[in-house]
Amino acid sequence: MRSLLLAPITGAANRTALINRQRRHLINLMRGLTEPAAERDNPIAVLLVEGARSHLQAGLDWLQRCQEEPA
């Protein structure tokens, strides 16, 4: 994540690659979370998953903001 902030120094093309990689990572993380179906019966587990989801979504939204920002 921190490397993203250094992106202006490293160059635009690289920045795109960085963003892409981070996005894929976040989505794959989310995929990993939803795989186990057992969590649904456990309310605490549901809350935790929900918390994790919020973080991942926030990350994704922030990535989008970074993408929009011109170099």
Partner 1 sequence: MSRAETTEDAPETAMIRVKNLTKVHHSDGTDVHAIRGIDLVVHSGEFVAVMGPSGSGKSTVLHLLAGLVPATGGEIWLRGRRLGGLSEAERAVLRRRHVGVVFQFFNLISNMTVADNVELPALLAGAGPKQARSRREYLLDELGLTDRADAPPTRLSGGQQQRVALARALANEPSLLLADEPTGNLDSTNTRDVIRLLEKVHDQGQTILLVTHDVRVASAADRVISLFDGMIVDDAAVSPASGAASSIGSILDL
Fill in the per-residue mask, 3 to 42: x = in contact with partner 1 (CB under 8 A), - = not in contact: -------------x---x--xxxxxxxxxxxxx-------
Its sign, for the CA torsion 37, 40, 42, 44, is positive
Cβ 28 to partner 1, closest distance in Å? 4
Cβ 11 to partner 1, closest distance in Å? 15
2 touches partner 1 by CB under 8 A = no
Q: How many CB atoms lie within 10 A of CB 57?
A: 12
Q: Is residue 63 within 8 Å of 19, Cβ to Cβ? A: yes
Task: Give me the DSSP letters along 23-36.
Answer: HHHHHHHHHHHHS-
- Which chain residues interact with partner 1 by CB under 8 A? 16, 20, 23-35, 48-53, 55-57, 59-61, 64, 67-68
